[in-house]
Chains A and B, each alone.
Chain A
Amino acid sequence: GQSLEQPSEVTAVEGAIVQINCTYQTSGFYGLSWYQQHDGGAPTFLSYNGLDGLEETGRFSSFLSRSDSYGYLLLQELQMKDSASYFCAVSSGYSTLTFGKGTMLLVSP
């Protein structure tokens, strides 16, 4: 089976940098994805890491270490609109995703 661990809540101020960690245990692993969800709405894809290293997409970056079963999402220049829940998800064949319980990010002025 699969299990993912991520912090339940993170707080930060506008303009700051925040890192959301994710550790996973899985019987099969193809990659680690990150999704954003505002107020229970449609989750939105942010990034994907299939190989070790850092992927950068604008203000967001994601990192993966397969040997450590660990990844993180890095959000820079935080804005109020970044307040949302962030989910890491592992894929293990057939494109099925197993999601973590999510990290609620609260950005304050």
Chain B
Amino acid sequence: NAGVMQNPRHLVRRRGQEARLRCSPMKGHSHVYWYRQLPEEGLKFMVYLQKENIIDESGMPKERFSAEFPKEGPSILRIQQVVRGDSAAYFCASSPEPGTNEQYFGPGTRLTVT
């Protein structure tokens, strides 16, 4: 059973460009969570999605950031007009059902904005 997959693993973007981060949850998991981690920091919750629905986006900046989890295909975290402060590791996690505290994390995408 393949784990949570994220791609790309490393992404370099110039200021003002768009970044698209992809996450394929574990097989059978329909709940996806996105987190951001800065160096020497914990993970900060951004958004929680189920198939075709955003359940909780309270941790996501109101501007430039969006997320989706379509019926078919991976979940996408999209950052428009990136700035240097967006440089971080972005982790995706999945779970088979809500209300479980055991989330399965992917290897992360390291975004560097130059």
Q: Which residues of A contact B (CB under 8 A)?
A: 4, 30-31, 33, 35, 40-45, 48, 50, 87, 89, 91, 94-102
**Known interface pairs A41-B107, A44-B105, A100-B42; 19 further A-B residue pairs with C-beta atoms within 8 A, sorted by A's residue number:** A30-B101, A33-B102, A35-B105, A40-B108, A42-B3, A42-B107, A43-B43, A43-B93, A48-B101, A48-B102, A89-B101, A94-B55, A95-B95, A95-B98, A99-B42, A99-B43, A99-B44, A102-B40, A102-B41
Q: Report the minimum CB–CB distance from B32 to chain A (whole Å).
A: 11
B43 touches A42 (CB 8 A): no
* Of A43, A96, A98, the contact of B105 (CB 8 Å cutoff): A43
Using CB atoms, name the residue of chain A closest to B37.
Answer: A40
A96 touches B45 (CB 8 A): yes
Does B52 belong to the interface (CB within 8 Å)? no
A94 touches B98 (CB 8 A): yes
B33 touches A95 (CB 8 A): yes
Can you list 12 A-B contacts with CB-CB less than 8 angstroms, sorted by A residue number? A42-B3, A43-B91, A48-B102, A91-B101, A94-B55, A95-B101, A96-B59, A97-B45, A99-B35, A99-B42, A99-B44, A102-B41
Which residues of the partner chain A approach B3 to less than 8 Å between Cβ atoms? 42
Number of A-B contacts (CB under 8 A): 72
Which residues of the partner chain A approach B101 to less than 8 Å between Cβ atoms? 30-31, 33, 45, 48, 50, 89, 91, 95, 97
Count residues of chain B with CB under 8 A from any CB of chain A. 32
Using CB atoms, name the residue of chain A closest to B108.
Answer: A42
A35 vs B100: C-alpha distance when bound (angstroms): 14
Using CB atoms, name the residue of chain B closest to A90.
Answer: B101
Q: CB-CB contacts of B88-107 with A at 8 A, as 1s and 0s?
A: 01010101001111111111
B45 touches A98 (CB 8 A): yes
Closest 6 CB pairs between A and B?
Answer: A99-B42, A42-B105, A33-B101, A48-B101, A99-B43, A45-B102
A23 vs B55: C-alpha distance when bound (angstroms): 28
B95 touches A102 (CB 8 A): no
Using CB atoms, name the residue of chain B closest to A32.
Answer: B101
